[in-house]
Amino acid sequence: MAFVLVASTAQITAAVVTKDVPSTEDVVNESVSSLKVQVKTLNGSYLKDAKVTVIETGKSYYTDKYGYTPVMQVPFNENALTNTFEGDFAFITIVVSKTGYIDYILFNCVVYRDRMRNGPVITMFSKQESGADFIGTVEIPPDDWTKEFLESLK
């Protein structure tokens, strides 16, 4: 059993997965994005020592006492949407885990070209709060881009 939520980047509180993506140390003269994820419990408490893994880089980070990861740099990979209709964002996949909590995967976490994103905020459920095997969410592209994209198809 799994719980899945689809949300816009403005709504989420809480992919394109490619193999052999170079680490950010190997990226030369390419755009790099960065983000800082915060992890909280269902009651809003900060979750310390949660493991946050960025699938595209294979790197894992741990949250501090305020639930924040350090700033994580990720390569900016073009995607089918922004190749079709110009956009300044890309997607990564984030997995969050901690003993006693249900594993969480965020597909299509939006990152911006050469910009820092403060977020997303991931809400973790303890195993006592849910019987789900995992929780999966999907972010959609930024609202302004999505509105323009949909309008262009009419």
| One-letter-per-residue 3-state SS of 87-146 | CCEEEEEEEEECCCECEEEEEEEEEECCCEEEEEEEEECECCCCCCCEEEEEECCCHHHH
Look up the pTM and report it: 0.79
- Is pLDDT larger for residue 82 or for residue 40? 40
Fold of 2-152: Immunoglobulin-like (2.60.40)
pLDDT per position as a tens digit, 72-106: 999 888 888 777 788 889 999 999 999 999 999 99
